[in-house]
Amino acid sequence: MRIYRMTATFGKLEHATLELEPGLNIITAPNEWGKSTWCAFLVAMLYGFDTRSKSTKTALADKTHYQPWSGAPMEGRIDLNWNGRDITIERRTHRRVPLGEFKAYETESGLPVTELTAANCGQMLLGVEQTVFRRAGFIRHADLPLTQDEALRRRLNALVTTGDDSGAAERLAEDLKTLRNRCRYNRTGLLPQAEARREELEGKIGELDTLEEQMKKLRRNLEDIKLWLKQLYNHQQSLAYREMEQIIARVAQAKTAREEAEQELARLEAVCAQLPSRDAVDSKVRELRSFLEMRSGLEREYREAPREPIIPQMPEPFSGMTAEAAWEMARADAKTYTEITKTKAPGILLLVGVLGLLAAAGLWYLQATIYAGGAAACGLLAFVWGLWEKIRIKKQVKGLLAKYGDPNWKHWVAPIGKFEKEQAAYRTALKEYREIQSDLEVRMMVLRKKRESLGTDQDPDEAMEQWQAALENWNACLQARQQAAQTKRHHEALNAMVKPVEKPTMEDHLTQSEQETTQLLADCAEEQQRLQNRLGQYQGRMEILGDREELSRQLEQVRERIRKLEETYAALVLAQDTLAAAKAELQRRYAPRITKRAQQLLSDMTGGRYRRLTMQEDFSLQAGTEAEDTLRDALWRSDGTMDQLYLALRLAVAEELTPKAPLVLDDVLVRFDDTRMQAAVNLLRKMSADKQIICFTCQTREAECQ
């Protein structure tokens, strides 16, 4: 295939056109010109977009990454030559699907190329899947190291082992693997299914055996339950029979009690027939009870009523005096006592008398007898008068003290105040006494009137006893009537309970009570039902499991099928092992074929420095110069040499896998020195004689190489 031109509205490209020539095309452009965009456009036009891919935080999906910057719909066109035919392919956005509409037609006539579709366009034009083209015919600097891919591995393996890429050996291996997996793969193969069926049948037969044994045990348990139920029913009948005998005896007792109660009622009714009516008796008893309660209460109040207060007496020395007179006398005596105890007249008179007598003695001594006698007489008179006054006052004080008994005249009036308080209390008590007595006399008059209203001369206590006896007779009659009715109901109820009960036919040895027997019967019935249900479940399960003979026949068939499948599986394993051995033998040519071409290309690019190169199955490289004894991994080499190693490998793989497809290179020579770059460009020119090569670069030196 050879490309004439590409026209794109794709990413930053807006109706841009790229013209291409046969052979080597070196396109020099600065960074951000759109070189990588043209590369992505070519892949998208050939293979379309993966519409299921989604953008992540670290990477954009291609359908989002290459949306036209102008906002126009994404579209493109490629004019090319394929198998001698000039063809145009177009893709444009359909609805919301980028490049979702596809057209392929002959450039001159416009006739559609029906064998090309949106799904198979790249596969048909280039002869390889998209992943193979990306790793073999589409080389970017960032992707120089060749990584494994299942489609690429399958193509290379088929090519180097069989000499072509038809994939017959791979298909045979896949068919053997499919058949082997069909025989045994996890639980979905025929063998696991047959083994599962065998286990299922063996499980069913084993379950049938278990169910039969369990059903035998259940039937034995049912027989035991039935025997126990029979004994319990007989015991229940025995209890009912004995209970009915007891009821009949109680009926006879109730009948006797009823007759006795009816006789007592007849006797009391005869007694009450001679008495006033019950209402009259009850009214009379209430009337008498009210009178007696009133009388008893009045008598109690008479006994508890206060006595007439005692008149207070004026204490000595005021006995017989009124309070006013006592107050007057006490004040006068206090005044007198105060005056006589404070007077100094007796002392003065005595002093004057003594002085007079002394004066008379002095005059007598002076022989003034005339004056001495007068002085003596005056002194004696004054002394006698003073002595008499002193005796009189002392006698008067003694009389007052004897009268009041207290030398402190302020205490003489205390009895008068006490008397006045006692007299006030007396007046209050006397008033209360007279009021209570007056109320009691009024109530006594009312009681006498009530006594007269009784209408009988009989003593109330005796009358109360007689009427109370009549009331007791009436009450006894009422109680006897109730007792007779109760005994009647009791007799009738017991008589209604009498039912014919058959005598038990079996001897009863059980001792359980009726309640315990009822509970045991319920438990046994429940257990019997449970066992019957369990039997039904087991029987239903056995019916679901199927007939034992049929299951045994199916089990033998399954075992025979497993034997045949195991033989088939062993044959398939042997075939796979044989094919793998043959494949391993053929794959020994895998490394020499690709490695030889890559080694030649590397030697040309490095001027013969690197003549030894090996490649592992994972496409990792080891290389060495003529001067080195051992090969080293590519990581041991410089960055430029590593690029040259992997470019040589990529070019060798491209020659093998994409001989019809253009070779697209994007900045793959950026780390080559001038010498090796010249050698690489010369090599590409040589290779471009057989295929179209498109080399994008940001440097001008590739185009300047001659």
Q: Summarize the confidence of residues 431-450 as an average pLDDT.
A: 82
Is pLDDT larger for residue 637 or for residue 412? 412
Local structure of residue 139 (DSSP, 8 states): E
Residue 224 CB neighbours (<10 A): 13
73-82, 565-574, 600-609, 637-646 — which is least confidently predicted? 637-646
Note the pLDDT of residue 149.
46
pTM for this structure? 0.43
Note the pLDDT of residue 606.
79
pLDDT exceeds 50 at position 164: no
If you average pLDDT over every residue of the chain, what do you get? 81
Q: Summarize the confidence of residues 445-453 as an average pLDDT.
A: 77
State the pLDDT confidence band at 638, using cuts at 50, 70 and 90.
Answer: low
Measured between alpha carbons, how far is 549 from 513 in angstroms, rounded to an integer? 53
Measured between alpha carbons, how far is 209 from 542 in angstroms, rounded to an integer? 10
State the pLDDT confidence band at 352, using cuts at 50, 70 and 90.
Answer: confident
pLDDT exceeds 70 at position 152: no
Cβ within 8 Å of residue 260, ≥6 positions away: 487
Q: Long-range contacts: 159-164, Cβ < 8 Å, 24+?
A: 159/656, 159/657, 160/586, 160/587, 160/589, 160/590, 160/593, 160/594, 161/583, 161/586, 161/587, 161/589, 161/590, 162/586
Note the pLDDT of residue 159.
44
Q: Summarize the confidence of residues 66-71 as an average pLDDT.
A: 89
Total number of domains in the chain: 2
* Under 8 Å between Cβ of 696 and 27: yes
Is pLDDT larger for residue 344 or for residue 71? 71
* Under 8 Å between Cβ of 697 and 28: yes
Q: Summarize the confidence of residues 221-241 as an average pLDDT.
A: 86
Note the pLDDT of residue 160.
43
Measured between alpha carbons, how far is 190 from 201 in angstroms, rounded to an integer? 16
Q: Summarize the confidence of residues 134-153 as an average pLDDT.
A: 62
444-453, 475-484, 491-500, 614-623 — which is least confidently predicted? 614-623
Q: Summarize the confidence of residues 507-518 as an average pLDDT.
A: 86
Domain boundary among 357, 392, 422: 422
Q: Summarize the confidence of residues 178-200 as an average pLDDT.
A: 78
Is pLDDT larger for residue 357 or for residue 149? 357
Cβ within 8 Å of residue 655, ≥6 positions away: 597, 687
pLDDT exceeds 80 at position 540: yes
Q: Summarize the confidence of residues 253-271 as an average pLDDT.
A: 90
Note the pLDDT of residue 89.
95
β-pair partners for 193: none
* 30: CATH: 3.40.50.300
Residue that is written with structure tokens 């490209």 in the block: 13
**Between helices 674-687 and 639-657, what is the axis angle to 10°?**
0
Measured between alpha carbons, how far is 356 from 377 in angstroms, rounded to an integer? 8
Which of 137, 129, 150, 157 lies closest to 653, judged by CA? 137
- Give a yes or no: residue 615 inside a domain: no
- Give a yes or no: residue 355 inside a domain: yes
Dump pLDDT digits (tens) for 275-304: 888 888 888 888 888 888 888 888 888 888
* Under 8 Å between Cβ of 646 and 145: yes
- Give a yes or no: residue 501 inside a domain: no
Note the pLDDT of residue 585.
56
- Work out the percent of the chain whose per-residue pLDDT is above 70: 87
9-23, 375-389, 540-554 — which is least confidently predicted? 375-389
Q: Summarize the confidence of residues 478-491 as an average pLDDT.
A: 91
Which of 662, 666, 675 lies closest to 701, judged by CA? 675
Residue that is written with structure tokens 């592992």 in the block: 616
Position 582: which residue type? A
Residue that is written with structure tokens 């006589």 in the block: 340
Cα-based distances in Å from 61 to 57, 65, 67, 93, 99: 11, 6, 10, 16, 14
Cis peptide bond N-terminal to 317, omega within 30: yes
Cβ within 8 Å of residue 439, ≥6 positions away: none
- Spatial strand order of the sheet with 138-140 comes to 24-28, 693-697, 663-666, 138-140
Q: Summarize the confidence of residues 141-153 as an average pLDDT.
A: 54
Q: How far is CA 698 from the centre of its chain?
A: 68
Which helix (H) or strand (E) segment is 695 a member of?
strand 693-697
Measured between alpha carbons, how far is 665 from 378 in angstroms, rounded to an integer? 184
- Work out the percent of the chain whose per-residue pLDDT is above 90: 12
pLDDT exceeds 60 at position 616: no
- Spatial strand order of the sheet with 621-625 comes to 610-615, 621-625, 632-633
State the pLDDT confidence band at 90, using cuts at 50, 70 and 90.
Answer: very high
pLDDT exceeds 50 at position 128: yes
The range of the structural domain enclosing residue 398 comes to 323-422
Q: Summarize the confidence of residues 104-118 as an average pLDDT.
A: 92
Measured between alpha carbons, how far is 538 from 214 in angstroms, rounded to an integer? 8
Domain boundary among 374, 402, 422: 422
Q: Summarize the confidence of residues 341-366 as an average pLDDT.
A: 76
* Under 8 Å between Cβ of 191 and 569: yes
Domain boundary among 406, 422, 438: 422
- Give a yes or no: residue 81 inside a domain: yes
- Give a yes or no: residue 399 inside a domain: yes
SS3 693: strand
Q: Summarize the confidence of residues 542-559 as an average pLDDT.
A: 87
- Give a yes or no: residue 698 inside a domain: yes
pLDDT exceeds 90 at position 361: no
Q: Long-range contacts: 506-513, Cβ < 8 Å, 24+?
A: 506/231, 506/234, 508/234, 508/235, 508/238, 510/231, 510/232, 510/235, 512/235
Phi-psi region for residue 387, left (φ > 0), alpha (ψ -120 to 50) or beta? alpha
Q: How far is CA 288 from the centre of its chain?
A: 78
Q: Summarize the confidence of residues 656-678 as an average pLDDT.
A: 85
Measured between alpha carbons, how far is 103 from 89 in angstroms, rounded to an integer? 6
Alpha-carbon torsion, ordered 436, 439, 445, 447, to 10 deg:
-90
Backbone angles phi, psi at 3, to 5 degrees: -95, 130
**Between helices 190-273 and 514-545, what is the axis angle to 10°?**
160
Q: Summarize the confidence of residues 59-71 as an average pLDDT.
A: 86
pLDDT exceeds 90 at position 88: yes
* Under 8 Å between Cβ of 551 and 545: yes
Note the pLDDT of residue 171.
62
Measured between alpha carbons, how far is 684 from 702 in angstroms, rounded to an integer? 11
